[in-house]
């Protein structure tokens, strides 16, 4: 099982980082092959909406996203972790998400409308944290994650969501968040 973790926070060793690291440890403990990237450490421009990918399924922008496409393509499971920023994903991660427009184009070219109703490239998950408590806190991030995975021909399977977590490392004071993250990693690695 090949799993890709995507760290979405600009805050290194922050709450979502700690959760994703623990989740990936859980997956590794079950023999999964794990890779991870940090959106903030990559130079990824936003999508230019040039639509060239509609003809070729490839993005013409030559930046670090070109190193990310093969990782996305070979991952059987992806776990994206992020803090809520203004009810959405942090900008650095959102640039990466927007650039999978090329993968969506590739999928449009490869699959009929009927075939596109099913997902054949694996499963995707989201770990998200936010400082406030509202019922709709994760709606924006979840919708973006759902369609990110759709573009990658992967099925979105939700994940873990923690409200009322703000200060760096506050997640470590949560009763069982780190255990939940480890268990999620195990579940992901065990899914055939
Ligand atoms: C620019 C910015 C925007 C934020 N927007 C929200 C928000 O809309 N809702 C919320 O509950 N928390 C918001 N937060 C708080 C973060 O989600 C929270 O601090 C989180 O625990 C940070 O996770 P991290 O340590 O993984 O970066 C925001 C923080 C920043 C810096």
pLDDT mean over 79-104: 98
Q: Could you write out the DSSP letters of every residue in 40-65?
A: GGS--PPP----THHHHS-----STH
Indicate the fold that domain 2-12+42-126+140-187 takes in CATH: Rossmann fold (3.40.50)
Q: What is the structure's pLDDT at 192?
A: 61
Please give the Cα distance from 181 to 192 (Å, whole number): 19
Token pair 């490839």 is at which residue? 58
pLDDT at 151: 98
Give the whole-number percent of the chain exceeding pLDDT 90.
Answer: 98
Flag whether pLDDT at 158 surpasses 80: yes
Mean pLDDT score, 128-139: 97
Each residue of 92-118: pLDDT tens digit?
Answer: 999 999 999 999 999 999 999 999 999
Q: Where are the alpha helices (DSSP H) in the chain?
A: 15-29, 53-56, 65-74, 91-99, 101-110, 139-151, 177-190
Q: Which of 8, 40, 131 to mutate to test the pocket of ligand 1 (most atoms within 8 A of CB)?
A: 131
User: Cβ distance 25 to 31 under 8 Å?
Assistant: no
Domain residue extents for the chain: 2-12+42-126+140-187
Tokens of 137: 């806190």
Helices within 57-138 (DSSP H only): 65-74, 91-99, 101-110
Instruction: Report the nearest-CA residue for atom 23 of ligand 1.
Output: 83
What would the pLDDT profile of 42-53 be if each residue is shown by its tens digit?
999 999 999 999
Q: Using CA atoms, how far apart are residues 66 and 125, in angstroms rounded to an integer?
A: 22
Distance 82 CA to ligand 1 centre (A): 9
Ligand 1 closest atom vs CA 11:
27
Neighbour-count burial of 107, counting CB atoms closer than 10 A to its CB (0-12 exposed, 13-18 middle, 19+ buried): buried
- What is the per-residue pLDDT for 94? 98
- For the stretch 11-25, pLDDT in tens is 999 999 999 999 999
CA distance 58 to 105: 8
pLDDT of residue 191: 82
What pLDDT score does 135 carry?
95
pLDDT score for 19:
98
Q: For residue 70, with 0-12 CB atoms within 10 Å meaning exposed, 13-18 middle and 19 or more buried, which class applies?
A: exposed
- DSSP helix, strand, coil percent of the chain (3-state; round to 5): 45, 20, 35
Which atom of ligand 1 is least distant from the CA of 10? 27
The verdict on the CB of residue 13 being under 6 Å from ligand 1 is: no
The per-residue pLDDT of the chain, averaged, comes to 97
Q: Taking 70 as the threshold, does the pLDDT of residue 185 lie above it?
A: yes
- Summarize the confidence of residues 31-37 as an average pLDDT: 97
Closest CA to 128 of 16, 37, 20, 36: 16
In this predicted structure, the answer to whether residue 136 has a pLDDT above a threshold of 80 is yes
- In the three-class reduction of DSSP (H, G, I as helix; E, B as strand; rest coil), residue 33 is classed as strand
């Amino acid at each position: 099982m090949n799993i890709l973790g995507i760290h979405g926070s600009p805050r290194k060793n922050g709450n979502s980082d700690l959760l994703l690291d623990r989740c990936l440890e859980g997956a590794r403990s079950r023999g999964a092959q794990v890779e991870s990237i940090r959106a903030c450490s990559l130079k990824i421009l936003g999508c230019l909406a040039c639509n060239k990918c509609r003809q070729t399924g490839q993005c013409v922008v030559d930046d670090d996203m070109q190193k990310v496409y093969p990782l996305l393509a070979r991952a059987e499971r992806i776990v994206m972790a992020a803090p809520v920023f203004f009810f959405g994903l942090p900008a650095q991660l959102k640039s990466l998400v927007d650039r999978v427009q090329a993968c969506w184009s590739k999928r449009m070219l490869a699959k009929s409308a009927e075939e596109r109703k099913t997902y054949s490239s694996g499963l995707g998950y989201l770990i998200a944290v936010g400082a406030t408590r509202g019922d709709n806190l994760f709606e924006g991030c979840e919708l973006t994650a759902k369609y990110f995975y759709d573009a990658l021909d992967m099925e979105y399977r939700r994940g873990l969501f923690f409200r009322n977590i703000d200060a760096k490392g506050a997640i470590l004071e949560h009763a069982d968040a780190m255990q939940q993250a480890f268990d999620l990693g195990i579940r992901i690695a065990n899914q055939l």
